[in-house]
Structure 1
Amino acid sequence: MDVADLLTSAGINISVCVVAFSLYSVLRKQPSNACVYFTRRYISEAIRPDDPFSLRRFVPSAGWIMQAWRATDEEILEAGGIDAVVFMRIVVLSIRIFIIAAVICVFLVLPVNYYGKDMEHKNFRFESIDVFTIGNVEEGSKWLWAHCLALYIITCAVCVLLYLEYKSITKMRLAHITGSHPNPSHFTVLVRGIPWSQDHSYSKSVESFFSTYYPDTYVDHQMIYRPSTVHKLKKDAKKMYRILRPVETEYVRGDKPCYLCGGTAHTFKLLQNGEDSIRSQTSIDELHPTQIEKECPAAFVFFKNRYAAVVAAQVLQSSNPMLWVTQLAPEPHDVYWSNLGIPYKQVWVRKIVVLLIALAFVFVFLFPVTLVQGLTQPHVLTRWFPQIKGVLKLRFLNMLVTGYLPSVILILFLYTVPPIMMLLSRIEGNVSRSDRKRSACIKVLYFTIWNVFFVNVLSGSFINQMSIFSQIRELPMMLAKQVPTQATFFTTYVLSSGWASLAFELIQLFALICNILRRFILRSKKEPTNIALTFPHHTEIPRLLLFGLLGFTLSILAPIILPFLLVYFFLAFLVYRNQILHVYVTKYESAGQFWPIVHNATIFSLVIAVAVLAMKKSPMASGCTIPLIIISLLFNEYCRKRFSQVFKRNPAQVLIEMDRRDEQWGKEEGIYNRLRSEYCQLAYISRDLTISKDFSVAGPNRQSSTDHNSPQGADENSLKQESDSRE
């Protein structure tokens, strides 16, 4: 591929982005799309827009771009929590790093690559991309000092920026712990592997154990019940709802004791309009399960203070490590209830099975990746499909088939990966939704780095040399040789996977199609429910980190990719800010748990970039770059010792100070009274039983606490006024 073909591919993607962004600016103004593009506000307010017809609604505008640009970190924190701020920090960090890399590599490394060999150059538009890579520099050339110098500057800049970000996010996490309202999860320990006794129930065993060994700090406990029991209660509640639904009623929220969990479940009083009230007196006692038959060997145990809960969570409770296994409980909205009933002895078996399935999936995925690499090489493509030899003689079709089509095919295959990894993370037995998403994020990251980077690089050599597996010792040298030759494919991959994916993320194509079908095809007059989406960290973070790996590795070997990467990160900054402010809803908070993954992946990418250059057949490259690998690994170890432990455990010093503060302000009794009701299993299992748009059986949704800037009681024209002010 030459420069003209690359610019043509870039032009196609630029056209797609311009059309998508313009279409979005029109679609967001339509009142019927409020549930798609203003989801956060839509689910927190009773918006009934009645916007009169106006031509301005159909004219593209850039008001949303200015609003996303001007949004502050405080607004992002209020809308999406710490996880949203951390995600945006990843984007900003990438912009800073690759601005530095672009300035250095474009003005220092690129000229060295271009004039690396004594050859006659063509017109710039018809130059091959390979001329701008390190492959155009003679082996052992003295000009490799420029690459080493650029790599030193980039490495030092990355280490400094990573340290500052790690320090800042750690402070943010500690401030979240100390500054937030008393969190029930700080006082609660999840106990699994409770031993079975024929004499009494699991509940009695828990009470006896913790009353004996934690007599001064143990407060109470709450058993976990089998999901089938809770679903039976949910089914009965749905039947009652269908019976009461035809009555024109007004719903008022009230609290009743939950006889299953012992806490407080949110119920509703049905008030007849203009008449005496009709009260639904539901006796949950009739549905109360037999304790011994329905209890799971797991429970939430509540303690008097945070320090006692941390100690109980981290101490080995029994001489048999498989019994009385404790950990700090997830926050109530984060609990993944269906996995709590999994026996603890099955967890390690599940993890092994999931690992084997993931490895098998990686192996199966080698075939589409090899197919994609074959499409990038015309001589291989004509060998596989001789009938298209004449078609490839046409310049535009040749560029489309060998340059643009392979990356598109690979992207389509990769769309199947996140759902599969999320399913595997669920099978693993994670007890919290954030752990499940974080586990899926790691799996998707490993999968994409291996298949998109390493397999693409090595499969290109495998196609040309079928004896690759007989030359295992030459794989490192082969990697160093093949990476520059794949610069064209990776550049087009950034264009198609990066730019186009941001356009479709902005439009929310699936949600838009569902909304159109519901309104105009099915003619449904019901308000949509269950439309709240959480931010897809497990898909977006691996994509950012993969592009970071490509940027680090190719910034020295093929700097021509850097301008396209910078455009992607700038677009990501605007698009993701807009989505966090208006679309995605925060249901639970992991307080920045994704950042250690980002830090480790960035260091890994940096080491790979240095190692690839070190494997060049040049004493200068090897001698100058090997110390960089050692420095990078030592820096990573220092950050692991200095910061990462704060993301795994809460500091005792902070917790004790918070306990003393609660004692001085007399908050203990209020906290104790909340614990059982916050971990009411019936309420959270039945969250999808929506009786009205603003209330559900689960009680208030988490977004009500995050949407502080959404005015309550908006009138019918509120959406129009908001759109007008933004545009």
Structure 2
Amino acid sequence: MNLAALLTSAGINIIVCVVLFSLYSILRKQPSNVNVYFGRRLATRSSTNVDISLERFVPSPTWVMKACDTTQDELLNIGGLDAVAFNRMIIFSIRVFSVAAIICNILVLPVNYYADHRMHTDIPFESLEAFTIENVKEGSRWLWAHCLALYIITLTACCLLYCEYKSITNLRLAHFTELPPKPSHFTILVRGIPWSSEESYCEAVRKFFTFYHASTYLSHQIVYKSGSVQKLKDDAGYICKMFGDGVGQTCKPSMCMVQCYFCGGTNNFKIISSREIDSIHSRTGFRDMHLVARQKECAAAFVFFKSRYAALMAARNLQASNPMLWVTEQAPEPCDVYWSNLCIPYRQLWLRKIFTWGVSTTFMIVFLAPVTFVQGLTQPEKLEKMFPFLTEILKTKFMVQLVSGYLPSAILVLFLIGVGPVMMLLSAVEGPISRSGKKKSACCKVVYFTIWNVFFVNVFTGSIISQLSVFTSITELPAQLAKAVPAQVTFFTTYVLSSGWASLAFEIIQPFPLFCNMFQRLVLCSGKDSYNGTLTFPYHTEVPRILLFGFLGFTCSILAPLILPFLLFYFFLAYLVYRNQIINVYITKYDGGGQLWPIAHTTSIFSLLVAQVIALGVFGLKRSTVAAGFTIPLLIGTVLFNQYCRQRFLPVFKNNAAQVLIDMDHRDETFRRMEEIYHQLHSAYCQFNNTSPPQSECFSYSGDISERVQSLHTPKDLETGKKIMQPEMSWPIVRR
């Protein structure tokens, strides 16, 4: 590929970006699109400030100014710590690649271009290989420039990574301590509860924790089967019971508030007749309801403790001699719980992980086919052999530039669209207990997938398989990468244009929600607020894209510095676009506490190591022993730096500090807020928000209240129990 083909690809993407960004600045001003481009503000009932004058039909950069003016504290309040961590990834990339672009384009690029001592006259039609390290002759003394640039980039990246890791760790600690008390601090999730034919899971949990954690145990809540199939069965049984009891024939409907007996939460209002309630209670004994409840119990429960430290110790310690029974871990936040996975038997989890690993690996292998096809497009001469009818078309210089410079990367981007949903599905099958955990797992899978297929598979498919013999030893890997990567740098540059610039333009325009909104308004003739899609930020696709471009930047910086300006422009544009989307579009339903940053740190370190290994191989091929010798200490120093960061910062993201928890417990006890926290715990983890859970006699609470509630046996006594409990704990009873 020559420079003209690269400029053709850049020109096409620039035109697409200009058109879509201009269109966005107009569409966002239209009152009919408020629910598409201001979904978060509508959800929080804040002002959207939509202009209704004639200026709303003229493109304007006002959204850029608003995105720049938003402070980090405002971003933290809007999108949570995950949004701040994602924003810091982009800022880190901007800073490190600004340094890399300055150093490499001033120091390395002239060395690459003039190293062969040839006269370069026709620069636009110059092959891009003239700008890469391939143009440097063997034994050249100018390779010290590449080694020096590699040192500067590595030291800059490590310093920035350390500062960012420290900053986000402090934000996480402040986010943990300064906010109001969270229910998850006092709660653990217990799975692998042993089954017994003599007692229910609820009774087993109560006996176990009142005996082994008598001084700290507060109460517990059993998890019930709540899948889609189970809900359909419950609804069908409920309707059959209504018709079987003759409900609703002559009764006068009355408004009743259906409340959750176990969870303590208040559900939606439902119209239930008084005769319906009396009929069901008269025909259904309490013992029958208890049997039904036992059938719907899962071997999992939320257990509440009287202090944060007690919950932490219970979550960390091994509860039984059999590690597969009474398995405990810290509970996620109530809004973050992934309820459908809580009923998965604990013994199945390792099988599910093996299954998802196998499917992910198979998917990566199957994806070799489209990558190989894309690599065929980068070589027009091979494309003519495969498709002879394209011979006449490829004689045109513009078509050759279009096919080799734009089409391959655009096709690969289309193939990669389905990777995110597939990995999200596999992560859900894996069995995470939280939605943030599911998204984090999907993010890791997509990172591995994209780096492997976009970088390594393209490198080996495009260069090694077709030109070189496949290496037979791991020691040959640096040399083979040193030969293959510079040959594929041009493809990576066009991929940045297609997958980077264009993807940001489509991200801000939101084509699918916009189409749904227009379809409902124009075709279905719906009302003003017809489209009410609530979108959450797709971290599982956007974080891997940022990290992939960072990987390409590190590995190609000294090999082909021409990629750095394109990358730098992408990160600047991403900074504006993603901040705008977090502020206006995406709704934050849960916060993972910045757990995405360790993934970014590890991927950046891996990128640096791969770049150094490739540089070591290049210096070896160019017979520069001095440059190769100086690269080895850089590899060792990077590994040691990563190990230090893992020891210094990573434990904060995995566990809560006992010192911090004890201080928080003392503070709440001093201000006498513990009783208020206890009252809110049980209702926080309300599993049944729209439907009532099964009724049973299991309602465990330590102290006198527990004894009084367990003595209830009849529906009449249940009403009495509700009155007994009402003054101390507002956990009402579910009635169907």
TM class by smaller structure: 0.7 to 0.9
Structure 1 residue 141: deviation in Å?
1.6
1:663 equivalent to 2:665? Answer no
User: 5+ unaligned residues in a row in structure 2: which ranges?
Assistant: 242-254, 694-736
What CA distance in whole angstroms lies between the structure 1 residues aligned with 2:540 and 2:155? 29
Give the stretch that moved more between structures: 279-288 or 174-183: 279-288
Specify which of 337, 340, 344 is matched with residue 339 of structure 2: 337
Report what 1:266 is aligned to.
267
Report what 1:6 is aligned to.
6
Report what 2:201 is aligned to.
202
Give the stretch that moved more between structures: 170-179 or 460-469: 460-469
Specify which of 366, 370, 374 is matched with residue 368 of structure 1: 370
Where do 1:184-583 residues align within 5 Å?
A: 184-228=183-227, 229-230=230-231, 257-259=259-261, 261-268=262-269, 290-465=292-467, 467-468=469-470, 474-525=476-527, 527-528=529-530, 531-583=533-585
Query: Which letter does structure 2 place at the counterpart of 1:144?
Result: L
Q: 1:441 to 1:147 in 2, by over 3 A?
A: same
The question of whether the paired residues in 2 share the 8 Å contact of 1:201 and 1:291 is answered with no
What CA distance in whole angstroms lies between the structure 2 residues aligned with 1:106 and 1:684? 60
The question of whether the paired residues in 1 share the 8 Å contact of 2:8 and 2:405 is answered with no
Structure 1 residue 514: deviation in Å?
0.4
Structure 1 residue 533: deviation in Å?
1.1
Report what 1:89 is aligned to.
88
CA displacement 1:113-172 (0-9 Å, x = unmatched): 001112232322221111010000012321110000011111111111100000010000
User: 5+ unaligned residues in a row in structure 1: which ranges?
Assistant: 241-251, 271-276, 688-727
Structure 1 residue 61: deviation in Å?
0.8
SS in structure 2 of the partner of residue 580 of structure 1: helix
Q: How many residues align?
A: 668
CA displacement 1:48-104 (0-9 Å, x = unmatched): 99986x432211111111111111111111110111111111101100000000110
The question of whether the paired residues in 1 share the 8 Å contact of 2:41 and 2:48 is answered with no
Report what 1:674 is aligned to.
680
CA displacement 1:496-554 (0-9 Å, x = unmatched): 10000000000010000000001111112274475111111100000000000100011
What CA distance in whole angstroms lies between the structure 2 residues aligned with 1:523 and 1:278? 37
What CA distance in whole angstroms lies between the structure 1 residues aligned with 2:487 and 2:51? 55
Give the stretch that moved more between structures: 617-626 or 150-159: 617-626
Structure 1 residue 269: deviation in Å?
7.9
Q: 1:84 to 1:199 in 2, by over 3 A?
A: same
Structure 1 residue 265: deviation in Å?
2.1
SS in structure 1 of the partner of residue 689 of structure 2: helix
Q: 1:81 to 1:477 in 2, by over 3 A?
A: same
Give the stretch that moved more between structures: 286-295 or 420-429: 286-295
1:653 equivalent to 2:654? Answer no
Q: 1:33 to 1:278 in 2, by over 3 A?
A: farther
What CA distance in whole angstroms lies between the structure 2 residues aligned with 1:338 and 1:546? 32
CA displacement 1:554-574 (0-9 Å, x = unmatched): 110000000000110000010
The question of whether the paired residues in 2 share the 8 Å contact of 1:374 and 1:463 is answered with no
Query: Which letter does structure 2 place at the counterpart of 1:26?
Result: I
Structure 1 residue 673: deviation in Å?
1.1
SS in structure 2 of the partner of residue 447 of structure 1: helix
Q: 1:234 to 1:621 in 2, by over 3 A?
A: farther
Q: 1:48 to 1:542 in 2, by over 3 A?
A: closer
Report what 2:712 is aligned to.
none
Report what 1:620 is aligned to.
626
The question of whether the paired residues in 1 share the 8 Å contact of 2:258 and 2:269 is answered with no
Structure 1 residue 227: deviation in Å?
1.6
Report what 1:122 is aligned to.
121
The question of whether the paired residues in 1 share the 8 Å contact of 2:612 and 2:635 is answered with yes
Structure 1 residue 268: deviation in Å?
3.3
The question of whether the paired residues in 1 share the 8 Å contact of 2:464 and 2:484 is answered with no
What CA distance in whole angstroms lies between the structure 2 residues aligned with 1:685 and 1:148? 65
What CA distance in whole angstroms lies between the structure 1 residues aligned with 2:46 and 2:544? 36
Report what 2:28 is aligned to.
28
Query: Which letter does structure 1 place at the counterpart of 2:608?
Result: L
What CA distance in whole angstroms lies between the structure 1 residues aligned with 2:439 and 2:274? 41
**What's the Cα RMSD here?**
2.7
SS in structure 2 of the partner of residue 22 of structure 1: helix
Structure 1 residue 209: deviation in Å?
0.6
Report what 1:274 is aligned to.
none
Query: Which letter does structure 1 place at the counterpart of 2:20?
Result: A
Q: 1:291 to 1:237 in 2, by over 3 A?
A: closer
Where do 1:159-170 residues align within 5 Å?
A: 159-170=158-169
Specify which of 637, 651, 654 is matched with residue 643 of structure 2: 637
SS in structure 1 of the partner of residue 614 of structure 2: helix
Structure 1 residue 383: deviation in Å?
2.2
Report what 2:252 is aligned to.
none
Report what 2:153 is aligned to.
154
Query: Which letter does structure 1 place at the counterpart of 2:193?
Result: I
Structure 1 residue 236: deviation in Å?
8.9
Report what 1:706 is aligned to.
none
Q: 1:258 to 1:282 in 2, by over 3 A?
A: farther
Query: Which letter does structure 2 place at the counterpart of 1:356?
Result: G
Give the stretch that moved more between structures: 112-121 or 467-476: 467-476
What CA distance in whole angstroms lies between the structure 1 residues aligned with 2:22 and 2:466? 44
What CA distance in whole angstroms lies between the structure 1 residues aligned with 2:175 and 2:239? 38
Q: 1:289 to 1:51 in 2, by over 3 A?
A: farther
Give the stretch that moved more between structures: 194-203 or 466-475: 466-475
Scaled by the length of structure 1, the TM-score of the pair is 0.88
Scaled by the length of structure 2, the TM-score of the pair is 0.87
What CA distance in whole angstroms lies between the structure 1 residues aligned with 2:236 and 2:635? 59
What CA distance in whole angstroms lies between the structure 1 residues aligned with 2:46 and 2:98? 45
What CA distance in whole angstroms lies between the structure 2 residues aligned with 1:519 and 1:3? 46
1:108 equivalent to 2:114? Answer no
Structure 1 residue 293: deviation in Å?
1.0
Give the stretch that moved more between structures: 586-595 or 223-232: 223-232
Query: Which letter does structure 2 place at the counterpart of 1:72?
Result: T
Structure 1 residue 466: deviation in Å?
7.5
Q: 1:119 to 1:650 in 2, by over 3 A?
A: same
Report what 1:37 is aligned to.
37
Report what 2:728 is aligned to.
none
Q: 1:592 to 1:239 in 2, by over 3 A?
A: farther
Q: 1:281 to 1:124 in 2, by over 3 A?
A: farther
Structure 1 residue 290: deviation in Å?
1.9
